[in-house]
Structure 1
Amino acid sequence: MDYGRLTLEELKQGYRYDKEKDTYICNYCEQHFEVGQIFSIENSFYVAEHAVSKHIKAIHRGNLSQLLASETKYNTLTQNQKELLSLFASGASDKEMAKKLGVTEATIRRQRFTFREKAKQAKLYLAVYEQVFEAKPTTDNAIIPIHNSAIYVDDRYLITEQEKQHILETSFYSLEPLVLKAFSPKEKKKVVILTKIAEQFKKGKRYSEKEVNQILMPIFEDYMTIRRYLIMYGFMERTRDGSKYWLTE
């Protein structure tokens, strides 16, 4: 899941609405719930918006559990904090929580206060950030988003929109169909090239190694190198035996 592209409301809901397709989409498995259809979940029937909410609860154990368990670099919560937040969400009393965790009720209250203060800080930061960066049209100097499962997060990702366009124009013979000239040893170029190639795969779909090769071979002769770097840079994952590949969420 690309947290950077979701709104706060979409993160809290666990799904988003695609206006063009008139469809609700689960953030976690990309399942679509088209408006106008009726969906059966656990022997009951729901319209699209209610169905996607029920789906997240039934299939993904609820939105909060998914957010807390997410392995994204943006999830900086400690295991202890995750457990506390789960307990707060459960409605357990301070006394029950203190007993379960082996701490005092005063400790539980302090933790609640700390979470509240951090939330206030986050709100202020978000308000400032949006005023500075999102209230204005995107410029050539804007830094492109880092994909959610990036493994090496360093200066190689400090790429402006202008740089990205230049790399695309000079690295590929053609963008449609996608045909790569050469796989550059320069890190910034690798990021842009791999990002573009990763777009040729569908989210939520599992590919055999043969299917991956069939997609990559027309793009670049040394398709095995591209396949390896898609894994190395966190664009794709695979099973240990290499039998299945998929885009990281």
Structure 2
Amino acid sequence: MKIENLSINDIKQGYVFNDELNCYICITCAKTYEVGEIYRIGDRFFEASKAIELHMELEHSDYLEKMINGDSKYNTLTENQKQLFQLFISDLSDKEIAKKVEVSTSTIRHQKFMFREKAKQAKLYLALYESVFEEKSNRGSTIIPIHEHAKMVDERYVVTEEERKHILETSFESMNPLKLKVFSSKEKKKVVILSKILEKFEYGKQYSEKEVNQILKSIYNDFATIRRYLIEYGFMSRNKECTKYWLT
């Protein structure tokens, strides 16, 4: 899921509520729990809001650790900071943590203070960014957000609304139904084209390879190439067996 569509609370708890689908969606595996349905977990039955909480506890008990060590381009923690965060979520005291990393207890307390100060800086930065770039930006010059799992992030992802509109107009012969005329070899155009094709899929839904192929084949004859780039550019993920696909 795109990080710009997630609140801080969504990221912390590991799941979101989709108003349109009326269901809870796990950020990690895209499993859904629909409101109004009853789900069996072990020997008991639960409604959706409790089921998703238990799903996180049972299936993703290491969610916080994976967040700390995740390969998202937004994770800028150093290896030392990752180690400290993992120790901070344990039941160890400051003295015990200090002994493990071979520093003084005061150093650990100072590091906690610095983390707290960085969090305050992040809040101010976010407030300024939203005020300047989201609320007062000119639509035509607005930079399109980069999806969280983008690979090899560089200038290819710097695309304005005006550029996107032009690329779509010249690359697709039809928008409804969606028909791709040419899959450009230029990296920036690939990103825009793939982003548009992605709209034919639903977040929170898992697709078989056959279903993915059917959707892509209706858009472009060389559906295997499109599927490969959707995975390669991080727009879509799949399991090791290549039997299930979902949007990231």
Report the TM-score when normalising by structure 2: 0.85
Cα distance in 1 for partners of 2:93, 2:10 equals: 29
- Check if 1:179 corresponds to 2:179: yes
Deviations along 1:157-213, one digit per CA (max 9) or x if unpaired, are: 1112232223222211122322111112332221111112233345552543x5544
CA distance in 2, matches of 1:91, 1:195: 43
- SS of 1:179's equivalent? strand
Equivalence for 2:130 = 130
CA distance in 1, matches of 2:79, 2:59: 23
1:246 match: 245
User: Which of 1 and 2 has higher RCO (CA within 8 Å, sep 6+)?
Assistant: 2
Match of 2:10 in 1: 10
Structure 2, unaligned runs of 5 or more: none
CA drift at 1:138: 7.5
1:100 aligns with: 100
Q: In percent, how many aligned pairs have the same letter?
A: 52
1:151 aligned partner: 151
Per mean C-alpha deviation after superposition, the further-off stretch among 224-233 and 14-23 is 224-233
Q: State the AA in 1 paired with 2:15.
A: Y
Asked if 2 retains the 8 angstrom alpha-carbon contact of 1:14 and 1:56, the reply is: yes
Aligned to 1:77: 77
Equivalent position of 1:205 in the other structure: 206
Deviation at 1:115, TM superposition (A): 0.9
TM-score, with length taken from structure 1 = 0.85
Q: Give the whole-Å Cα distance in 2 for the aligned partners of 1:121 and 1:228.
A: 39
Whole-Å separation in 2 of the counterparts to 1:9 and 1:202: 22
User: In the alignment, residue 24 of structure 2 is paired with which amino acid?
Assistant: Y
CA gap 1:140/1:43 in 2 versus in 1, 3 angstroms: farther
Paired residues, what number? 247
Counterpart residue type for residue 206 of structure 2: K
Of 37-46 and 190-199, the range deviating more from structure 2? 37-46
Give distance in 2, aligned partners of 1:28 and 1:228.
Answer: 21
The amino acid of 1:194's aligned partner reads L
Query: Structure 1 pair 24/143, CA: closer, same or farther in 2 (3 Å)?
Result: same
Worse-superposed segment, 61-70 or 111-120: 61-70
Mapped partners of 2:127, 2:107: distance in 1: 30
How far residue 116 of structure 1 moved from its aligned partner, in angstroms, is 1.1
Moved more, 173-182 or 229-238: 229-238
Gaps of 5+ in 1: none
**Are the equivalent residues in 1 in contact too, given 2:151–2:234 (CA < 8 A)?**
yes
Tell me the CA shift for residue 227 of structure 1. Answer: 3.3
Deviation at 1:62, TM superposition (A): 5.0
